[in-house]
Structure 1
Amino acid sequence: MSWTLPAVQARSGRNLAHVLPVLLLLIAATHTVLALELPRSASPHIAKRLALDLELHLGVSNANGSDELVLADLDLTTSQVAVEAGAKSAPAGPLRNFEVNVPPRVLPQIQSLTSCSVDLIYRSFNNSYGNPSVFSYSPSLLGPKCADPSKWTSIVLTQQGASQGRQFDRLGSVAIGNPSSNGPVEIWRTDNAEPTLAGVTWLTRKDVSQYFSLFKQSGSTMIFDYPNVVDGTYTGALNITLSMTVYQPKTTATKSRSTRSRQQVHLLAREHHPDQLSNEERGLNLIIGPPAPLSDRSPDLIYALSGTNHNLSTSALSLIGAGVQGPANSASSSLSTTITSFPINAARAIVEVYASGTAQDEFWYSNVPSSLAEQVPGAADLGLYGGGPYREVQVRIDGVLAGIISPYAVIFTGGIQPLLWRPESAFGAYNQPTYLVDITPFIGTLTDSKPHTFDLLVQSADRNGSYPQGWFLSGNLQVVLDSSSARTTGQLISTPSKSSYLPYPTLTTTGKVTGNLSKNGTLTATVRTSKGAPRTISVVGEVKTGSMKAAARYTWTQSFDYRSDLVQNATVSTSKQTASGSSTLTASAKNASQSFPLYAQSFSFPINTLSAYDGQFLNGSVQHSYETKLASLDALLEPWLGTNNKKGGGGAKLGLPLAQKISTSQVASAYSMFNGTGGVVGGAGITSQKYSYADSNLFTFDRQTSVNDRTITQDTVSGTLASKADPVR
């Protein structure tokens, strides 16, 4: 059975074959919650429908070990796959899909912990647009053994899902809130495995210990949202169980690191690093002591930044983008939230942001500058969307720019081409990364018992900052209280200039269009920061808490470098992007010349994509990396700051380790083969990934995987958390 390409027409009347050169980059151009618009959409939307058919008939996976934008190691010949071979060679039964990521950072045996688990909800998400699951939550759900949150040391959520049929990837969300949280706080943004006719399953977990102040309260509400459509065309329901596990000491008296037995030390070394830690000295360096209770190392208060129209019966997802209407709430150009009760004795505060590009901005990193898109007749029919490839999420407080975010390009499980992600998803698909902006310099201006407005918005490098629809944003405000109940005071010393609110003055856009892109023309574009002139912002504020002997001056500084090179012609489309930067919070005594770092984070998010169509093969490759480094030194500087906080520094209370590093790189390649009449007759994919995690709490996790045509050919795991790795088979 083959799927005949000429039978599908775009809304413009143009045959889909005319847009195949850009099909791979735009195969999921309308994502998740906008799927209701698919039957009325233009060619990129139908392209994603084609991708679903490719997967249903062939379904495979990915990878390419080359550092170049080529399809090295993938032999694109007709002998590689026979007609319908993908379907015939697929493993029997549902395919287990997985994402390589660090497991929850807990070792019950080593740390002398016990646990309790509860299934919070099971639901088959069918026609669930605007109909999230809303249910009551209380610590008592864990049973009498674990009903006392003051003993908890970790909180882990787990999703186990299954689906069968024809369906898109969908944007899922878990949120929790109570009357004092200012609305639902999103705590997990996720995606389902895109199903096949034979069915798929997936399991994913997230450590949500940082949200302890919400989980410890009775009378809270949880919201589990997976907008989905099931009809005669899209038949796959999403059957998902959401469960919760908490950990606590086995006894009230826990052992300190100095009293741990030599037997326990060697058990850890022997089980988790046998090749690297073969002697007592190395083993002793890996002592992992019992964790402190979450009440000592999580924010005191958390407020939702999910918009003024949200309540505890609605999803935490908010769609922004001019003129966009979605199933969450009507979209606007920014997400605005008013906090009416900011605590008067706040000592530290950060904003955490969830950000996902969807619809025409799902592949924002391959969008072309608007000035060039306007030169191409029927650009949308060719899959060319404007706004350029640069995106920046901004946090503004009372209209003042407080911080910027360079988002990681999360590729959903059906993104670019589904054959890339079977069974291994792109990093971040099941557990999307979040981003932190430290707003401690603002604290002295927020403790005046007056309402304050927090805005989240997206900007491009176009002159007016515009971009296509649409982004799903949410955030939360995490606050650490001072040990004194006295009012915190202070003022802003300096803030970013108004000219820095739009990115384009510090990013240069060049490019040109030659010829007819649907025939022999070419579009090239480069968007970049200038060498030695990164995009930077700085905020300086003076803060004095009740426990401080004197005021301190806090400085939040960010510096980002960026470059994107795009090439588009009738048969090949490539994008090559590098994004890197750093964010630092420093503190100094008033009028002092020397400052000390309290928090520092750096990132690097490169991504390269290629797609090509020669009339017989539809080829695509992705190469992307995620690397972050974090350091939080508050606890070491508490005596210098004179805050005398008995429970440790603000960084410790924000759940930040002294140091943490995450590094992963993934390469993927896939192809689909057509016969002379446009029928799909074969396809395959390969993938490989290297992942590494380490932190100052001595938790480490390393995993290397390879997949060839849906068969796992390598899975090597090591590190202190190796025994807790999620299964891939």
Structure 2
Amino acid sequence: MKLVDSVLLSLFFTFLSVPPPLRLSAAIPPDSPIYDYDFEVPPPSPSPPPAASPNTTLEYMDLTLPPLLPTQSPKCSVHVLQRDFAHTVGSPPVTSGYIPPPECPAPWSRVVLELAGAASDVQKDRIAAVWLAGVEVLRTSTPFSMSPGVFWYVRKDVTRYTALLRHAAAFSMMLENSNATFPGVFSVNVSLHFYRGAVSFSSSPVSDSAAATGGLTAHPIIRGFYREPADLIIPISRPTAAAAGGGHWFRVTNETDRSSRTVLIPNNTYRAVLEVYASHHSDDEYWYANPLRSSGATLASDCLESKKPNGAFRQVVATLDGRYVGSAIPFPVITPGSVNPFFWAPVAAIGAYDHPSYDFDLTPFVGKLIDGGPHEFGLTVKECQPFWLVGGNLHLWLDAWSDAVEGGLIRYKVPPLRLGRQADWKNTEGKSEMEGQVIIRFSGWVSSSAGNVTTSVRHKLKFKSHVEVEEKGEMKTVEMEMKARTNLRIERDHAVVGRVVVETESPLNLVVESSNGGGGTRIRKTKLFHEMMEARSSAEGKGGEWFSTITDRQEAEGSVLVGEDGEVVWGSGETKSTYKYRDDKKCYLRTVNMVGGKVKEDEESSSCVAAAADF
């Protein structure tokens, strides 16, 4: 392990001035045919993104497979937003206008959103999001930049939002950055790249970086839940009128704080999927390491825990008119300033630059949704502490051959997720365990121009957490495992015509040792193992089978010196990141070893033998 040169933060902002505050325009209401808003779309910026600053020398990377693109270059690209984020805390989202590209109108085979960012100087990591017509299309974090010259890219397949991209709309972004302590300004450009033509798996790469993948140049569009993009997308989030100081996302402070939005659903809706974003902050930044105890002394302040020791369990829950319709145990995204910032320079933690979203198929409830009345969609986080940011997008598929469809709920079985809780504490030492599982079942029918189709959903959640504290509160061990499996079955005329299975597993192991560093400081040594595994399979008709697996794994070890104010003064870190993708046609494997802030190994392979042998 090599020690990173001491990062004495005061050196970075003693001689640097802070840019003046920005004047940010108010956000614009979303362009939704459901609400019939009347607004003017501000023109998009006519200028291309500025050239990178001469001091932008270090790229912070997200180890993932880029979007799956056709073998040609983009048919056209649209630059939709450019902004420097400085003193933006409490400001509304910055807003620009989006107009569909006239030179390459829909249909598109792929649309890829690219966010290019640069940090002018030292700055903390900040949460950010991008919305189109009030619909969240990306939730992300900035890097924890430890020096000037940091830049990064986020590339995300946003083809599922095609219904919005077909029309002029407001494009907005939220990034609350403070320069009260750190001088870094985040400069961000957002562009959309439109592709036409068939998606190809040929061996002709579209770029040099794609050569190692044998033409597989990006993460495939999600199959099963989004076999085709929806016809209409309605935001389940804060309307712009209420977002003057907080963006479109809902802010949830406890499990009784249920945020909701009431909407009208078209009568010819035959399918519905609710997509939910959720991220944890402040007192719940380390919810996954939170012990369960009723009372007693708190642990060392740098041992990564929430203020209230209510245990390491959180559950994002969606409701329809107050009735449960879906939930997920959220993946614990470790943002670039969390645990040990030196783990995430220059390779980001899993999901940090592209936070995962969670899909709940609501098709069994379509009969309820199309009754002609308004319906309330609610979001909350069970057992949470302040605060979480949540928001949803309701994807709807409409019957073009009918003004109205019919439907009904056949089965609704929702037992509570009962957690077993055990805790044994004596002063600052002890251990706690939480464990539980639940199986949810829905089924419902919809009669449309496609016939009478029954959709059945079976969702199983399994959770286990172990938190142990030793050495008078100075050592903490965390073990967590989350598993989920969703089975979707589609029947027509009593015959199965389609199946989708999505399985996820997210183990996390963390060991934290804290000791006195002198002068009011603390030394924190950390070992971390984190993994996200996902398997998807689908079958439609005869010969329409498809599968994919993703394994994203990180192992890290290092130390930091934490000052009296809780800020990291210096540190070191080693991280090994391994990303593996496989489907019925291709394989992809990438391994990056980072030591002391420098990449020592970066290897790619399209060999399925290598991918199978790696782990």
Q: Which of the five TM-score ranges fits, normalised by the shorter chain? A: 0.7 to 0.9
**Secondary structure, counterpart of 1:149 in structure 2:** coil
- Relative distance call for 1:567 and 1:209 in structure 2 (3 A) is same
What is the distance in 2 between the residues matched to 1:210 and 1:312? 25
- Provide the residue aligned with 2:79 in structure 1: 119
CA distance in 2, matches of 1:427, 1:239: 23
Per-residue CA deviation, residues 472-508 of structure 1 (Å, 9 max, x unaligned), is: 10111111223531422122223235x62xx3xx210
Q: Is the 8 A contact 1:619 1:671 kept in 2?
A: yes
- The match for 1:443 among 348, 359, 366 is 366
Q: Does 1:528 align with 2:439?
A: no
For the pair 1:210 / 2:166, whether they are aligned, the reply is: no
How far residue 159 of structure 1 moved from its aligned partner, in angstroms, is 1.5
> How many equivalent residue pairs?
543
Q: For each residue in 1:364-408, what CA deviation from the matched residue of structure 2 results, as whole angstroms up to 9, or x when unmatched? A: 111122xx1423368989855333111111111112211111211
Tell me, in whole angstroms, the C-alpha distance in 2 between the residues paired with 1:269 and 1:200.
Answer: 26
Alignment of 1:155 with 2:116, yes or no, is: no
SS for the counterpart of 1:469 is: coil
Give the match for residue 468 of structure 2: 567
Shift in Å, 1:354:
0.5
Whether 1:553 aligns to 2:465 is: no
Task: Confirm or deny that 1:317 pairs with 2:205.
Answer: no
Instruction: Give the corresponding residue for 1:629.
Output: 535
Residue 145 of structure 1 aligns with an amino acid whose one-letter code is E
* 1:345–1:546 CA contact under 8 A, matched in 2: no
Instruction: Please report how far the alpha carbon of residue 553 of structure 1 lies from its aligned counterpart in structure 2 after TM superposition.
Output: 3.1
Question: Which residue of the other structure, out of 544, 548, 557, is the alignment partner of 1:669?
Answer: 557
Aligned twin of 1:101: 64
| Amino acid in the other structure paired with 2:139 | R
Q: Give, in whole Å, the separation in 2 of the partners of 1:54 and 1:115.
A: 47
CA distance in 1, matches of 2:335, 2:491: 43
Residue 55 of structure 1, CA deviation: 12
Cα distance, 1:156 vs structure 2: 1.2
> Take 2:236 and 2:548, find their aligned partners in 1: how far apart are those partners?
26
Find the counterpart in structure 2 of residue 348 from structure 1: 271
What is the Cα deviation at residue 672 of structure 1? Answer: 3.2
Alignment partners' CA distance in 2, 1:97 and 1:605: 24
Q: Which 5+ residue runs of structure 2 have no aligned equivalent? A: 1-5, 14-54, 221-225, 518-522, 609-615
Which residue of the partner structure matches residue 684 of structure 1? 572
2-structure distance, mates of 1:393, 1:201: 32
Residues 431-480 of structure 1 show CA distances to partners (whole Å, capped at 9, x for unaligned) of 11111111110012211221111111111xxxxxx331111101111112
User: Which structure features the higher share of helix residues?
Assistant: 1
Q: Evaluate the alpha carbon distance shift between residue 573 and residue 107 of structure 1 in structure 2; reply closer, same or farther with a 3 A threshold.
A: same
Distance 2:286 2:394 in 1: 28
**What amino acid is the match of 2:593?**
S
Which 5+ residue runs of structure 1 have no aligned equivalent?
Answer: 1-49, 58-91, 178-183, 258-263, 278-282, 290-294, 324-331, 460-465, 639-648, 650-656, 722-729
Q: Which letter does structure 1 place at the counterpart of 2:195?
A: Y
1:186 aligns with 2:100: no
1-structure distance, mates of 2:358, 2:502: 10
SS in 1 for 2:132: strand
Deviation (angstroms), 1:360: 0.8
1:164–1:236 Cα contact (<8 Å) kept? yes
Q: Secondary structure of the equivalent of 1:429?
A: coil
Alignment partner of 1:405 out of 328, 331, 346: 328
Q: Match for residue 718 of structure 1?
A: 605
CA 1:217–1:270 in structure 2 vs 1: closer, same or farther (change >3 Å)?
closer
Give matches, 1:369-380, under 5 Å: 369=292, 372-376=293-297
Find 1:139's aligned residue among 87, 97, 100: 100
SS where residue 402 of structure 2 aligns? coil
Conserved 8 A contact 1:485-1:546: yes
What pairs up with 1:208-357 in 2 under 5 angstroms? 208-218=158-168, 220-231=169-180, 233-249=181-197, 267=204, 297-307=228-238, 315-322=247-254, 333-340=257-264, 342-357=265-280
- Aligned match of 2:88: 128
* Contact 2:144/2:336 (<8 A) preserved: yes
Q: Residue type of the partner of 2:455?
A: Y
* Amino acid across the alignment from 1:162: A
Structure with greater contact order relative to length (CA < 8 Å, sep ≥ 6): 1
Q: 1:356 to 1:270 in 2, by over 3 A?
A: closer
- Mapped to 2, the partners of 1:674 and 1:344 lie a distance apart of 58
Contact persistence 1:373–1:379 (CA under 8 A): no
Output aligned runs, 1:409-558, within 5 Å: 409-459=332-382, 466-497=383-414, 500=416, 503=417, 506-515=418-427, 517=428, 522-529=429-436, 534-548=437-451, 551-558=452-459
Rounded to whole Å, the distance in 2 between the matches of 1:626 and 1:577 is 12
> Deviations along 1:330-378, whole A, 9 cap, x unmatched?
xx712211111x1222222111111101111111111122xx1423368
CA contact (8 A) 2:491 2:498 kept: no
Q: Give the equivalent residue in structure 1 for 2:151.
A: 201
Q: Is the 8 A contact 2:269 2:370 kept in 1?
A: yes
Give the partner amino acid of 2:397.
Answer: V
8 Å CA contact 2:8–2:569 kept in 1: the answer is: no
- 1:583 aligns to 2:486 (yes or no): yes
- Equivalent residue number for residue 612 of structure 2: none
Take 1:97 and 1:572, find their aligned partners in 2: how far apart are those partners? 31
Contact kept in structure 2, 1:164 and 1:196, CA below 8 Å: no
- The secondary structure found in structure 2 opposite 1:168 is coil
In structure 2, the CA distance between the partners of 1:615 and 1:595, relative to structure 1 (3 Å rule), is same
Deviation at 1:115, TM superposition (A): 2.5
Per the alignment, in what secondary structure is the counterpart of residue 364 of structure 2? helix
C-alpha distance in structure 2 between counterparts of 1:686 and 1:482, whole Å: 53
- In 2, the alpha carbon distance for the partners of 1:702 and 1:270 equals 17
Cα distance between partner residues in 1 of 2:74 and 2:357: 29
Distance in 1 (CA, whole Å) between partners of 2:191 and 2:158 is: 12
Q: For the structure 1 residues 108 and 495, does the alpha-carbon distance in structure 2 shift closer, same or farther, using more than 3 Å as the test?
A: same
State percent identity of aligned pairs: 25
Which string of whole-angstrom CA distances, capped at 9 and with x for unpartnered residues, describes residues 636-676 of structure 1? Answer: 289xxxxxxxxxx9xxxxxxx9433221111111113699x
Cα distance in 2 for residues equivalent to 1:227 and 1:415: 18
- How far is the alpha carbon of 1:53 from its aligned partner? 4.7
Please say if residues 316 and 380 of structure 2, whose CA atoms lie closer than 8 Å, have aligned partners that are also in contact.
yes
Using the TM superposition, give the Cα deviation of residue 695 of structure 1 relative to its aligned residue in structure 2, in angstroms. 4.0
Amino acid at match of 2:501: A
Cα pair distance change 1:55/1:558, threshold 3 Å: farther
Q: Supply the AA of the counterpart residue of 2:464.
A: R
Which of 172, 181, 185 is the matching residue for 2:128? 172
CA distance in 2, matches of 1:707, 1:51: 18
Distance, in Å, in 2 between the alignment partners of 1:404 and 1:375 is 32
State the Cα deviation string for residues 18-58 of structure 1 (Å, max 9, x = none). Answer: xxxxxxxxxxxxxxxxxxxxxxxxxxxxxxxx99959979x
- 1:576 & 1:317 partners in 2: Cα distance? 30
TM norm structure 2: 0.80
Offset from partner CA, 1:265-312 (integer Å, 9 cap, x none) = 5646999999999xxxxx9x99xx9xxxxx993111111111457579
